[in-house]
Amino acid sequence: MDAPAHAPAYVPAHDLLADRTAVITAAAGAGIGGATARRFLEEGARVVIGDAHAVRTKQSVAALAEEFGPDRIDGIPCDVTDTARINALFDLAEQRHGHLDIVVNNAGLGGTAELTEMTDAQWDKVVDVTLNGTFRSTREALRRLRAAGREGVIVNNASVLGWRAQAGQAHYAAAKAGVMALTRCAALEAAPHGIRVNAVSPSLALHPHLAKVTSPGLLEELTAREAFGRHAEPWEIANVIVFLASGYSSYMTGETVSVSSQHA
């Protein structure tokens, strides 16, 4: 029997993040970051988003504020290659809500290029956003959580390409493998302070931006690798991020959780 190719029903909220303050990078729009911001708000959190796209950030904050109230959502443009902008994002969260509880490092940048044709600039840009940006944000989160003496949670967005090979993705795969290693090392350093660091590793979560920059042929090929015969919805990845940010994962740290139905 063929696997179902339809998404399941949207999962109702259970107040898992009530009264917690979260910072989420690359969270404007319809991708995993935007879905995570919405799920966090549905679960009772206060959310501050950052995104490199200023107009999209403003629009996302306005839309979520209308639905969830202006006191629970805010955001500013944030380029994760700029330490000062990352610091400003964390400053906003602390100014608005007094403290920080959760950080989701969602920012990442892809692209396709054969290794022999890849330029230094292409390599550097993908690594700087995807790996170095996660490093910068994780470093700042740990500094602030430790200084405040607060237990907290960091969730990084990795990828199945951190484990598996795909032609044309050397820069992105290397960066995501680095995110996994960073997650493990940061977790050991953070554990004595009651701070947990984990990651999710999605395969194919389709959203309008990804569809715009990916050829139909490649999307069809990637979908064929999924056991369910369909791509993930961004909110399905966000659900696992909620789990890792909540008390239900209290004994997990340094782990990368695959959110994928790819064939073994």
Backbone angles phi, psi at 155, to 5 degrees: -125, 120
| Cβ–Cβ under 8 Å, residues 255 and 30 | no
d(CA 37, CA 34): 5
Show which residues are catalytic. Answer: 172
Torsion on CA atoms 167, 168, 174, 176, rounded to nearest 10: -90
- Cβ within 8 Å of residue 165, ≥6 positions away: 173
Written in H, E and C, the secondary structure of the chain is CCCCCCCCCCCCCCCCCCCCEEEEECCCCCCHHHHHHHHHHHCCCEEEEEECCHHHHHHHHHHHHHHHCCCCEEEEECCCCCHHHHHHHHHHHHHHHCCCCEEEECCCCCCCCCHHHCCHHHHHHHHHHHHHHHHHHHHHHHHHHHHHCCCEEEEEECCHHHCCCCCCCHHHHHHHHHHHHHHHHHHHHHHHHCEEEEEEEECCECCHHHHHHCCHHHHHHHHHCECCCCCECHHHHHHHHHHHHCHHHCCCCCCEEEECCECC
